[in-house]
Amino acid sequence: MAATERRHSLRRRLLWRLTIPLVAVGIFTAFTSYRTALSEANQAHDRTLLASARAIAERLDYRNHQLVVDVPYVALDTFQVDIRGRIFYRVRDPAGRFVSGDRDLPPMPKDVPRSDHYPALVHFYNTDYLGTPLRVAALWQPVAGAGDGGIALVEVGETLEMRDDMAMRLLATTLWQQALLIAASLALIALAVHVALRPLKNIEATLRARDTASLDPIDVPELPREIHPLLASLNSYLDSLRGMVSRQSQFLDDASHQLRTALALVRTQADHAVRTYQAKPEWREIRDAIDRTIRLTNQLLALARTDAQPPHAAQGAALQRLDLTALCRAVSAEWYLAARDRQLDFGLSASDQMHAYVNGDEGMLREMLANVLDNAVQYTPAGGRVEVTVMAGATTHQVLVDDSGPGIAPAMRAKAFERFARLGGSRSPGSGLGLAIVRQICEAHGGRVLLEDGPDGRGLRVRIELPAASAPGRVSGSLPDSR
């Protein structure tokens, strides 16, 4: 899951899609900047070479009908700022005869073009001399003297160590400058993406702060235009969902009324038939079947209503402030006759002075307690005992329902909460919905239900825990009507 979230992170996508072009542009800019700086540096070195050649050319002169040159020290010392830089030169007269310098200096290739960057007849080219790469400036210098004069050739060559060092320094300077620029740009991009995605964080915070059962429209102020369609679509969906829930609730109310009215009428007719035809046992069986149908109908309707409420939906909703002790006493009174008919010892352990207040829906809590007591009475054999105990606490109130029935094995207790679960060996009539309804109603009120061993390890104990009401009164909102 974490890998999927990282892969589909909008922040990561934006950063990658902005970072990759930025790095590519930075690399291209670094390359072009290096090439431009290197070209400018080479031109500067070429100008220095040309200056040396000109310094030598200015000292050309004819003496006794022979071209001579008095090479100034400054012409050869121009590059002698580093022991790795060496200068070589050669002078030839107009006839091509050697005059001065390094005689074996390689001749200028024939295909070297004249440089257009300087107002002089000069050629620049690279060659090798004694195994050392050279950069050579070949300057044609007109001279006047014996005869008609002519054009002498002055060649000055420089070894490339200094140029290579300069190229490396330029490259290093360019790289760290571009790296610093890219790092600063990435930091600004990350900040810009964080600020740009802040409205989404605001929506997330708003949704987290909402009640889990709320279907009200989402309102987040100061959202960018681009997010308005998303929020409008979400609010439209919530509006449709709110309408669907309302229609479902209305349907359940209508169905409850129609079903219960019809079943009550049939139950009345069955009672009349039992009283009229007391000798016919089939009428008692019909009445018992109708009673089971009524019970199943009530359970299914309760389950349908609680299905609309996610766990903890009642927290923060405005429900009635109910006395759990009084509610348990009232529900226990309703089941007293059924327990007596089955010859059970039925009791309630709660002081009249003890109050355990909870915030909840009275109808749903009655249904929850009725399902627990129904199971306890149905599964406890004749002569057994069912006891309800209310325990008030500072933050949590508890209701314990103990019976002396067969109990539920620890390995089967999780399955007992599943819908329509019928545990093996059970002969009592039932739908398998009772404990599922109990858990769902309990969780809808922010509580929990546990199955434990009964007193002395016999039977079953159902422990219901509900959060205590903090203050009297009502809060806004409600659970579905359980009528």
- Domain co-membership, 475 together with 430: yes
* Of 263, 280, 309, the domain-final residue: 309
Number of neighbouring beta carbons within 10 Å of residue 270: 19
Residue 432: its pLDDT value, please?
A: 62
Q: Total structural domains in the chain?
A: 3
Model confidence band, residue 285 (pLDDT cutoffs 50, 70, 90): confident
pLDDT, mean of residues 186-211: 82
* 271-275-276-280 Cα dihedral, nearest 10 degrees: 90
- Tens digits of per-residue pLDDT, 29-69? 888 888 887 788 788 888 888 888 888 888 888 887 788 88
SS3 assignment for the chain: CHHHHHHCCHHHHHHHHHHHHHHHHHHHHHHHHHHHHHHHHHHHHHHHHHHHHHHHHCCEEEECCEEEECCCHHHHHCCCCCCCCCEEEEEECCCCCEEEECCCCCCCCCCCCECCCCCCCEEEEEEEECCEEEEEEEEEEEECCCCCCEEEEEEEEEECHHHHHHHHHHHHHHHHHHHHHHHHHHHHHHHHHHHHCHHHHHHHHHHHHCCCCCCCCCCCCCCCHHHHHHHHHHHHHHHHHHHHHHHHHHHHHHHHHHHHHHHHHHHHHHHHHHHHCCCCHHHHHHHHHHHHHHHHHHHHHHHHHHHCCCCCCCCCCCCEEEEHHHHHHHHHHHHHHHHHHCCCEEEEECCCCCCCEEEECHHHHHHHHHHHHHHHHHHCCCCCEEEEEEECCCCEEEEEEEECCCCCCHHHHHHHCCCCCCCCCCCCCCCCCHHHHHHHHHHHCCCEEEEEECHHHCCEEEEEEEECCCCCCCCCCCCCCCC
Residue carrying the six token digits 């600004």: 188
45's CB contacts (< 8 A; 6+ apart) are 135, 158, 162, 163, 166
Does any domain span residue 373? yes
Residue 299: its pLDDT value, please?
A: 66
To the question of pTM greater than 0.75 for the whole model, the response is no
- Domain co-membership, 36 together with 145: yes
Model confidence band, residue 465 (pLDDT cutoffs 50, 70, 90): very high
- Tens digits of per-residue pLDDT, 156-183? 988 888 777 777 888 888 888 888 988 8
pLDDT, mean of residues 206-216: 74
pLDDT, mean of residues 329-338: 89
Q: Which residue has the higher pLDDT, 220 or 326?
A: 326
- Tens digits of per-residue pLDDT, 65-118? 788 887 776 556 554 445 566 888 899 988 888 988 888 999 988 888 888 887
* Of 168, 202, 229, the domain-final residue: 168
pLDDT, mean of residues 316-341: 83
What gap in Å lies between CA 159 and CA 165, rounded to an integer? 12
pLDDT at 430 over 60: no
CA count, 13 A, side-chain hemisphere, 456: 4
pLDDT at 479 over 50: no
- Domain co-membership, 453 together with 365: yes
Model confidence band, residue 426 (pLDDT cutoffs 50, 70, 90): low
pLDDT at 391 over 80: yes
- Tens digits of per-residue pLDDT, 292-328? 777 667 666 666 666 555 444 444 444 688 999 999 9
Does any domain span residue 4? no
- Domain co-membership, 48 together with 133: yes
Model confidence band, residue 463 (pLDDT cutoffs 50, 70, 90): very high
On average, the pLDDT of the chain sits at 79
What gap in Å lies between CA 264 and CA 416, rounded to an integer? 30
- Domain co-membership, 465 together with 407: yes
Q: Which residue has the higher pLDDT, 359 or 317?
A: 359
- Domain co-membership, 377 together with 461: yes
Does any domain span residue 23? no
* 340-341-342-347 Cα dihedral, nearest 10 degrees: -10
Most confident of 123-137, 272-286, 421-435: 123-137
Model confidence band, residue 15 (pLDDT cutoffs 50, 70, 90): confident
- Domain co-membership, 289 together with 422: no
Does any domain span residue 13? no
Residue carrying the six token digits 């990561």: 12
pLDDT at 428 over 60: no
Residue 266: its pLDDT value, please?
A: 77
Number of neighbouring beta carbons within 10 Å of residue 36: 12
- Domain co-membership, 77 together with 132: yes
* Of 267, 293, 309, the domain-final residue: 309
Residue 19: its pLDDT value, please?
A: 85
Per the structure, the complete domain to which residue 348 belongs is given by 313-483
pLDDT at 367 over 50: yes
What gap in Å lies between CA 12 and CA 10, rounded to an integer? 5
First to last CA, the chain: 42
- Domain co-membership, 347 together with 457: yes
Does any domain span residue 258? yes
Does any domain span residue 193? no
- Domain co-membership, 261 together with 303: yes
- Domain co-membership, 335 together with 369: yes
363's CB contacts (< 8 A; 6+ apart) are 481, 482, 483
pLDDT, mean of residues 178-193: 88
pLDDT at 233 over 50: yes
Q: Is the dihedral of CA 178, 184, 188, 191 positive or negative?
A: positive
- Domain co-membership, 147 together with 262: no
The CATH number linked to 266 is: 1.10.287
The CATH number linked to 69 is: 3.30.450
Residue 171: its pLDDT value, please?
A: 80
CB 408 within 8 A of CB 417: no
Does any domain span residue 154? yes
The CATH number linked to 448 is: 3.30.565.10
Does any domain span residue 237? yes
